[in-house]
Amino acid sequence: MGSFLTKFNLSTLTSFGRNGGFVALDIGSSSIKMVETSIERGGYRVLSLGVLPVPLDAIQNNMVVNAKLVADTIRRLVQENRVKSTQVVSAVPGRAVIMKRIEMPMQEEAELDANIEFEANNVIPERMENVNLDYQVVNAIAGGSKLDVLLVAVKKEIVNSYTEAIEEAGLKPVIMDVDYFAMENMYEANYSTEPGGGMVGLIHIGARYTSVTLLNNGMSTFTGDLPFGGDDFSDSLKRELNLSSEGAETAKITGMVDGKKGFDIEAMLKPTSENLAEEIRRTVTLYGTVGTEEGDGLKAIYLSGGSAQTVGLRAMLEQQLVVPVRMAEPFRGFNVDKKIDRHFITEDAPAFAVGAGLSIRRPGDK
């Protein structure tokens, strides 16, 4: 695993054997994606895969506000897909997390563990007793005399809102990760051997937010969210064509209404695609990763999320950022169990990018 993913658990919640059964739950504002994998000598194997919508307003402001409804959805998802694993790896939204980079003197891990909370008190704008705190040593700097450390903190009430829903579903929360880091994990598992290196962007389009992660030679240089997501595309079609929510969701991906091509859906969505592409371009430009004459700028973008396949969006992003935009393949480096619907995992794979990254996390990963 990449160096950014050796420690982030936001506290492992329980201690279990490394080889037990684990299931990943990507609990989003509009749906829950489930990925069950096993780790084999030759890599990873997808054992089960599923998705169900989350009842409206069950998750608000980055928290589970109706644990019963979310638990019922999780329980149904697990039962319908005959998941045997009971230990859960899940994540909190990155926008709910406080992240700070600090420098510390070079020291042994035991000493660092003892000192980290004191340092965090100086930069985390929350009382330490109210947050789950974790950290990662990113690199040695200043000729090896200092450590570049990333601190990660999230309010306990946010973590607890997710773990309580998981427990109410009859499962055991083991790791709570951060969706940004799950995306990096997914990239590392599938694309780390690609030649060339350099700067790449991971763009994940959720229902209400789009996350942007920039990696330079596998190391994160920026993570953030834009308040713009798949619902903006769907709402546009609902207004113009008087479609239901389900009809709009289908139309934005297929380009058809009721299975017919009577409308130019791509043209209708073009203003929304342009707005999102421009916001992403500004973010990329702000962090200095646009292409340069030396060729050390952004090399490619990997697009994922439930609305990644919105008609015309990928082409619009390529036009605005002037780099190749590829649809992410979260399972390209995985073996797939024969019971998995091949069409489903091929067509809907981009929606499972976070789930794929979570599914290969285990307690004690180093």
pLDDT at 288: 61
Stretches where the chain sits below pLDDT 70 are 1-20, 195-196, 288-296, 366
Per the prediction, the chain carries an average pLDDT of: 89
The amino acid at residue 278 is E
HEC letters along the chain: CCHHHCCCCCCCCCCCCCCCCEEEEEECCCEEEEEEEEEECCEEEEEEEEEEECCCCCEECCEECCHHHHHHHHHHHHHHCCCCCCEEEEEECHHHCEEEEEEEECCCHHHHHHHHHHHHHHHCCCCHHHEEEEEEEEEEEHHHCEEEEEEEEEEHHHHHHHHHHHHHCCCEEEEEEEHHHHHHHHHHHHHCCCCCCCEEEEEEECCCCEEEEEEECCEEEEEEEECCCHHHHHHHHHHHHCCCHHHHHHHHHHCCECCECCCCHHHHHHHHHHHHHHHHHHHHHHCCCCCCCCCCCEEEEEEECCCCCCCCHHHHHHHHHCCCEEECCCCCCEEECCCCCHHHHHHCHHHHHHHHHHHCCCCCCC
Contact 205, 306 (CB under 8 A): yes
pLDDT at 14: 43
- The total of other beta-carbon atoms located within 10 Å of residue 5's CB is 22
pLDDT at 156: 96
- The total of other beta-carbon atoms located within 10 Å of residue 222's CB is 17
Cα separation, 92 vs 85, in Å, equals 21
pLDDT at 192: 81
- Residues β-bridged to residue 155: 131
| Domains along the sequence of the chain with CATH | 199-327 (3.30.420.40)
pLDDT at 163: 97
pLDDT at 293: 47
pLDDT at 8: 52
Residue 267, burial from CB neighbour count under 10 angstroms (0-12, 13-18, 19+): exposed
pLDDT at 346: 86
74-97 pLDDT per residue, tens: 999 999 999 999 999 999 999 999
- Residues β-bridged to residue 171: none
pLDDT at 5: 35
pTM score: 0.91
User: 35-43 long-range CB contacts below 8 Å, 24 or more apart?
Assistant: 35/352, 35/355, 35/356, 35/358, 35/359, 36/81, 36/83, 36/85, 36/359, 37/334, 37/359, 37/360, 39/360, 39/362, 40/335, 42/335, 43/333, 43/334, 43/335
